[in-house]
Amino acid sequence: MAGLNETHDPNLQCWLAASAGSDFPIQNLPFGSFRRRGGSEAFRVGVAIGDQVLDVPALLAAGALDGEAAAAARLCGNATLNALMAAGPARQSALRLALSRGLREGSPQQSRFSACLIPQSLVELALPAQVGDFTDFYASIHHATRVGRLFRPDNPLMPNYQWLPVAYHGRSSSIRVSGGLAQRPRGQLKGPNDAVPRLALSERIDYELELGFHVGVPTQSGETVPVDEAESHLFGVSLLNDWSARDIQAWEYQPLGPFLAKNFATHVSPWVVTMEALEPYRAAWDRPADHPAPLAHLESAANRSRGAIDITIEAWIQTERMRAQGLPAERLSRSTFAHSYWTVAQMLTHHASNGCNLVAGDLLGTGTQSGPRLDEAGCLLELTEGGRTPVVLADGESRRFVDDGDTIIFRGYCEREGCVRIGLGECAATIVAAAA
């Protein structure tokens, strides 16, 4: 946990006026992969500032960077962030500092930086990293309890839940960047009164409001990671929607967990907000006094004092009818990662506790992030109480689960008194009918 430095100063102003009030002020500076839309140029690494993208390789070529910042920028000519992620916090921080200084009001570098800006409206964004492995956790006790109660009213939490960060190994090949489509999947379905299962289209598509943390510095096979060093192996965070087919899931998940219900699509937002940018939004982490304390390898004073991160996350819906009528998206729920039962440091430490090697670009999903109130539920399975109570939208439509043509939009941001609000942008995708 790096602590605050001059890049977090809430009094900093960017000479780019459009950055004020946006998700991407000078205190944020998230990284992503981009190229100009409509051309044949290669994808490369850029930084979001206001409504613009700062072309990092172009900035390097213009001679605007030197020292460790230039060394980090030389890793940004690739189509993904993986090389920069692997370089480690010191080199990443040097680049962030140089970019911050060049974008500040009064910077002597303004003309060089200005020449390397491209409007976001003119660029195409790609997956920020090549994801080798995807691990999805189940870190919200409110989500686990509410969903568990639907199926096990007398014993909603499994015996291991309070002792370890439960997770499953997901599929990386179907992870896509925000703005795309997801086809309604087929799978085996079996209702409680069906004698045999059948192969059919899912009727219970659901979103899962999550965060995705990107691994940076890799580990070697057999290496473990102390909890106080875990975040030095993380690069940053994106929004993540791990789409779920609840009816397929209900039939297939025992005994080995999710399979076809989850692997048809996962969407992530294109901008990665660095761990350094999140520093002002740290919070104390704790759990109820009557719950067991974590085992020693998952416990530390630093993790207790500031291991939580207050990231507000929201789920919105825009139906096909709403789009046709020119109506804006409607918010379904809002929660915060500060509610998480496990910190991201504990998740990574547990992941590596058996010697599992982590690779730059690996993606750690937090699992659905829900709060204690129903309006903080991070999926329709919770909001509709298993489909029994539909959500009624302002235009009169109702939803038990996601219909074809529905666009689900995730938004995320951090705000705190005395700090500048920073955003994670959007993760949006639309469910469409399956191919014939």
* Structure tokens belonging to residue 279: 């520093």
Contact by Cβ (8 Å): 156, 141: no
- The pLDDT value given to residue 2: 66
Report how far residue 403's alpha carbon sits from residue 399's, in angstroms, rounded to the nearest whole number: 8
The domain at 134-432 falls in which architecture? Alpha-Beta Complex (3.90)
CB neighbours of 90 closer than 8 A, spacing ≥ 6? 68
Residue whose entry in the numeric block shows the structure tokens 């938004």: 411
Question: Would you please indicate which residues are annotated as catalytic (active-site) residues?
Answer: 143
- The pLDDT value given to residue 1: 52
Report how far residue 146's alpha carbon sits from residue 153's, in angstroms, rounded to the nearest whole number: 9
Q: Is the dihedral of CA 24, 29, 34, 35 positive or negative?
A: positive
Q: Which residue in 123, 101, 7, 121 sits closest to 55, CA to CA?
A: 123
Residue whose entry in the numeric block shows the structure tokens 């090697």: 357
- The pLDDT value given to residue 436: 72
Helix (H, G, I), strand (E, B) or coil at 77: coil
**Boundaries of every domain in the chain:** 6-126, 134-432
Q: Which CATH number fits domain 6-126: 2.30.30.230, 3.40.1010.20, 1.10.3720.10, 1.10.287.110?
A: 2.30.30.230
- The pLDDT value given to residue 39: 85
Report how far residue 236's alpha carbon sits from residue 425's, in angstroms, rounded to the nearest whole number: 14
Burial 405-429 (b: 16+ CB within 10 A, else e): bbbbbbbbbbeeeebbbbbbbbbbb
Strands 209-215 and 198-201 come out as: unpaired
Mean pLDDT by 10 residues, the chain (436 residues): 88 90 96 95 97 98 98 98 98 98 97 98 98 97 94 89 96 96 96 94 98 98 98 98 97 91 97 98 96 97 98 98 98 98 98 98 98 97 97 98 98 97 98 90
Q: Which residue in 420, 299, 318 sits closest to 23, CA to CA?
A: 420
- The pLDDT value given to residue 19: 81
* Structure tokens belonging to residue 131: 């994801």
